[in-house]
Amino acid sequence: MYKPILLSAAKNDIREAAKWYELQQKGLGKRFTADVRKSIKRIEQNPFAYSIKHGNVRTSLLKIFPFMVHFAIESSETFLISAVLHTSQNPEIWLERNQADA
């Protein structure tokens, strides 16, 4: 099983989206974070099951919410989550983040 490493920007993506959903309906923020956790668990099982979108970055679509987890396999044991973005957002945000961390 692979271990996830979340960039602080990705953690912030999750936190901000959860806050927004919680403002829309009580409990929805928790459902969002649970959906993110489930997606990360699926990636942990087999990160190679997800197609490459750009360079070495792969994406996993959440089951319930219109968000994608953007990640790259770092080693035989880890993958790096650079962003958790709404599908309407510019997906190249993760590219900027990866370059800043390089």
pTM equals 0.87
Supply the CATH classification number for the domain 3-101.
3.30.2310.20
43-88, pLDDT tens digit by residue? 999 999 999 988 899 999 999 999 999 999 999 999 999 999 999 8
Compute the Cα dihedral for 57, 102, 15, 41 and give only its sign: positive
Cα torsion at 66, 40, 72, 18 (round to 10°)?
A: 50
**Do 58 and 51 form a contact (C-beta atoms < 8 A)?**
yes
Distances (CA, A) of 83 to 19, 26, 27, 97: 16, 25, 23, 8
